[in-house]
Structure 1
Amino acid sequence: MTENSTPIDPVTRIGHVHLKVADIERALTFYRDVLGFEVTQRYGSQAVFLSAGGYHHYIGLNTWKSRGGKPPPPGTTGLYHVAILYPTRAALADALRRVLGAGIPLEGASDHGVSEAIYLRDPDGNGVELYRDRAPDDWPRTADGGLAMTTKPLDLAALARS
C-alpha cells in the first residue's frame, strides 16, 4: 500500500461471479444438480442466476458471447478459479461426496492451515475451489502474529467421513 492510500472498508466482500459458458444446460447440470445451487432467475436460454439461502445470486452464467465456445488455452490470462465457501466441514464433505458421485475428477485437495480446499474444473474448464475456513483462533501464526498459511495434502477420506 502506498503512503497516500487507505485500506478498503473491512466489511467489503466479493458479491458474485459471472461466468461465460458454452452451454447453459451443461453448466446448470454442474452448478445446480451437482453442487446444489438454486436457480433464482433465467433470461431465456442465454443466462441464469444461481444462489443459496435466498440471496439474489452468487453465480451468474451466460452464453452472450461464448455459446459453443472453448476454454482459453493454457498460457493465457483470465480467471484462475472461483472459490465457494462452505459454512462447515460437514457441508464441505457433502460437496465432496456430490462431486465424486457425479464422476467429476479432482485436480487437488489441500490443507492450507486456515482452510481445507478441494479443486476441480467445471464443464467449461473454469477452476473451482470448494473450501471451508477454520476458526481464526485456529489459524497457524508466525512468531510475530502473522499468518503462516501452508499447502499440505488434505485427507479426503477423513473429510468424506465428516
Structure 2
Amino acid sequence: MIQIVPFDSRHAAGVVSLILPIQQSEFGIPITLDDQPDLRDVPGFYRRAAGNFWVALDGEAVVGSIALLDIGNHQGALRKMFVAASHRGREHGVAKQLLDTLIQGARTHGVQEIFLGTTAKFLAAHRFYEKSGFREIDRMALPQGFPVMAVDTRFYCLATTQNAA
C-alpha cells in the first residue's frame, strides 16, 4: 500500500535516488545534485509559508515525490513531481495521490493557483496534468515569482478555487 507523507530527513537519500536517475538517464537531462540545491535542504527550501514537500512510500522505499513552492500572492509552483517507473500508471495511482495531496495542501493554505513548468520530453506528464485540470499557458502568463528552470519549455496553471482566474 502506498502512503503519501510529508518529507522527513530519513527520506533524503531516497528522494535523490528517485529523482536523479529519472532526470539523467530516463530523460537525458544534464543535471546534477549540485544543480539542485533544493534537494540538499528540502525543509528549508519548500517548507515556507504554504509550501511543502511530500513523498510516496511503498513500505520504506521512496517511489514518488512532489513539492509545492509558495511563490507569494496566493500562488504556488508545483516542483519535483517524480514517480518511479515501477509505480507509474493508473493502476498504481501514485501520481494522482501525490497531486491530490498537493492540491489539498494548497487549498488548505489559501493557494488559489498552482503553476508548473516542464520539458517537452515529458509527454506522459503533459497528458496527466491536462487530465488533472491544468491548462497550458504561455511563458509570458507566468507570475513574476515563478522560478523558471532552464529546461522548462511548457507551462501549466491550475485554479484551485472557483474565484481564481
Query: What TM-score do the two structures reach when normalised by structure 1?
Result: 0.28
Q: Which has the higher helix share?
A: 2
Larger radius of gyration: 1
